[in-house]
Amino acid sequence: MTEKKYNPKAIAKTIDVEEVYDLDVTIARFILPRLMVFKKHCEGTPRVNMTKKEWNEILDKMIYAFERIACQTEEETPEYKAYIKAIWNNEEDLADLKRAAKASLKPIADGLSLYHKYYRSLWW
């Protein structure tokens, strides 16, 4: 019987619980520098009809999303801060503020969606 190269149970024993407290941040901090290097060295695109410029724009959106998550600044927009402040002040009409806060987080959601869409295309 041959030994498996990847053993998640063995790896799990070596991971500090502090590393998984904010797992999204931990993962973003792992992915971000690798995406940046990938963008720098990648010569092709995932589709024949996609230009290098289009692919770089998609990679930039992914990088932006992971950067904001890795730095824990995804919720540091004026719109999001105003929404949280209104909640703390027990303001009644939060609908417009909530919409604006959600819209301010859209670039992050878009970048993560693109990462999901092109996950299997991150190779050359």
Half-sphere exposure in the Cβ direction for 18 (13 Å, CA): 0
For residue 4, the model assigns a pLDDT of: 63
According to DSSP, residue 27 is labeled: H
For residue 35, which of 66, 5, 13 has the smallest C-alpha distance? 66
The predicted pLDDT at position 19 comes to 85
> What is the chain's pLDDT, residue by residue, as a tens digit (124 residues)?
566 688 888 888 888 888 888 999 999 999 999 999 999 999 999 999 999 999 999 999 999 999 999 999 988 999 999 999 999 999 988 999 999 999 999 999 999 999 999 999 999 8
What phi and psi values does residue 48 have, to the nearest 5 degrees? -60, -40
* Confidence (pLDDT) at 1: 57
Residue 18 has a pLDDT of 86
Tokens found for residue 99: 């919409």
How high is the pLDDT of residue 75?
86
